[in-house]
Amino acid sequence: MSWLPLLVKASYFAAALLFILGIKRMSSPVTARSGIRWAGVGMLIATLATFATPGLHNMPLILAAVVLGTAVAWWSGKRVAMTDMPQMVALYNGLGGGSAAAIGAVELLRYSDLGVAPSQTVLVLAVAGALIGSIALTGSVIAWAKLDGRLDKRFTFPGQQAFNALVFLAAVGLGVFTVLGLQQPVIIGFFVAALAVGILMTLPIGGADMPVVISLYNALTGLAVAFEGYVLQNEALIIAGMVVGAAGTMLTQLMAKAMNRSIASVLFGSFGATGEAKEIAGAQKPIEAGDVAAMMAYAERVVIVPGYGMAVAQAQHKVWELTQALIKRGVKVKFAIHPVAGRMPGHMNVLLAEAGVPYDLIADMDDINPEFPTTDVSLVIGANDVVNPVAKTDPSSPIYGMPILDVSLSKNTIVIKRGKGTGFAGIENALFYADNTRMLYGDGAAAVAGLIAELKSVDGGH
């Protein structure tokens, strides 16, 4: 069947095209769902084409792995809570990097048994892909553990960055020796060092940088997959890996820009882990739900700022119900989304889309910030660091220079919060002490439900 290899190549091309178009459609909330389907169809085509590749070995083992992986992914995807979605993204991304590293390990050990590699280029790319994939694997696992509360967000020790640099140089050095000699003890040492780099590099990174870290490891995974795709001479892996790597790199740059940070400072600066902000004068001023409802009922413009606390409380559906009640009263309502709100890029957008909030009511930071001075009421639900004014006023604060939502410029600000604790970066929020801010303490869903009930009683429910 001389036509079969050509059909496989054509299938890989079609799959790559679907990957690219799918990612393009994922750039907009309106088309993201269909983009995921397109990319999924591309992956199915690529998988079937791989099974049709002449000379494929270990078919029963491959089929067993596909069935097991599909079953676990389906089960975990169905049961995961929206609040745990960042952890799942981090973990699955790490598995992608681990898969690339595993390919590199198998090929390097095979070349070691043979005593020779197909070419020096293939050998170098196998090592490079294995190094990057190993870092992405263990780094993503540490990010998952931090996001899931299983590991302290901050872990530092004296001379940490110098020690990390030495381990990285050791991994690179062992990689070079692997290319030169293909000795199995050296290969094993290389992987141990590479896996250690991912752990050590992620441990000191503060919680506020997690969205950037997840995006960065996504880019590294894509790059590792592309390198190992070349090693296997698999066009689908090469193209898909480069597309994911490029998209992840661009997203990482956007996330870092949204925090006014360089990627180097994210990796080596322990953002959110050090630094002491100035003491904030004043006290937090509580308010009752009835007063908030009256304030919002007679407002002309209301802006709702969701954060991770809304996700924890699963309050997005109640928030949309409140929004609908306000719109019926003629109030103009918008949602303000900070680029790094939540625990991963787009976290709040996903939650609001799940609740059915129309896309035209959702505004990003640059568009909504000029509107805060003319906003009657800003309702902050579970957001903290992304609305903290010290990012603009206190040079000693660890988040100084990070662009924020200018909620403090609103005529009135209401903050729904469970208690008086700090945000994920561990920094006190000056917004909570401002003269125009009132605190509505309680669980997000319960507090919003109370607002809905009180709103209905305003003017007898009219």
How do residues 49-84 score in pLDDT, each as one tens digit? 888 887 778 888 889 998 999 999 899 888 887 677
Q: Residue 6 corresponds to which amino acid?
A: L
Question: Do residues 137 and 195 lie in contact, with contact meaning Cβ atoms separated by under 8 Å?
Answer: yes
Q: Residue 10 corresponds to which amino acid?
A: A
Predicted confidence (pLDDT) per residue in 406-462, tens digit:
999 999 999 998 766 555 556 778 899 999 999 998 888 999 999 999 998 876 554
pLDDT band for position 271 (cuts 50, 70, 90) = very low
Predicted confidence (pLDDT) per residue in 145-175, tens digit:
888 878 766 677 888 889 999 999 999 999 9
Q: Which of 59, 86, 83, 104 is nearest to 140 (CA)?
A: 86
Residue 363, token pair as written in the block: 């505004």
Predicted confidence (pLDDT) per residue in 200-259, tens digit:
999 888 766 777 888 889 999 999 999 999 998 888 889 889 988 988 888 888 777 777
pLDDT band for position 275 (cuts 50, 70, 90) = very low
Look at residue 273 and tell me whether its pLDDT is greater than 60: no
Of residues 32 and 371, more confidence is placed in: 371
- The mean per-residue pLDDT over the stretch 324-342 comes to 91
Of residues 2 and 197, more confidence is placed in: 197
Question: Do residues 220 and 214 lie in contact, with contact meaning Cβ atoms separated by under 8 Å?
Answer: no
Terminal CA-CA length for the chain: 75
- The mean per-residue pLDDT over the stretch 381-385 comes to 86
Look at residue 368 and tell me whether its pLDDT is greater than 80: yes
Average pLDDT, the chain: 86
CATH 3.10.640.10 fits 289-461, yes or no: no
Predicted confidence (pLDDT) per residue in 232-241, tens digit:
888 888 988 9
Place of tokens 């206190």: 394
Domain range summary for the chain, segments of one domain joined by +: 80-268, 289-461
Which of 141-150, 174-183, 294-303 bottoms out in mean pLDDT, i.e. has the lowest?
141-150
Structure confidence at residue 274 (pLDDT): 45
- Phi, psi (deg, nearest 5) at residue 306: -85, 150
Give percent of the chain with pLDDT exceeding 90.
Answer: 44
Among 385, 394, 406, 443, which one carries the catalytic annotation?
A: 385
Structure confidence at residue 448 (pLDDT): 93
- The mean per-residue pLDDT over the stretch 136-146 comes to 92
| pTM for this predicted structure | 0.80
Active site residue 376: no
Strands across the sheet containing 412-417 = 362-364, 332-337, 301-306, 377-381, 412-417, 437-441
Look at residue 311 and tell me whether its pLDDT is greater than 70: yes
Element (H, E) at 336: strand 332-337
Element (H, E) at 391: helix 390-393
Structure confidence at residue 386 (pLDDT): 87
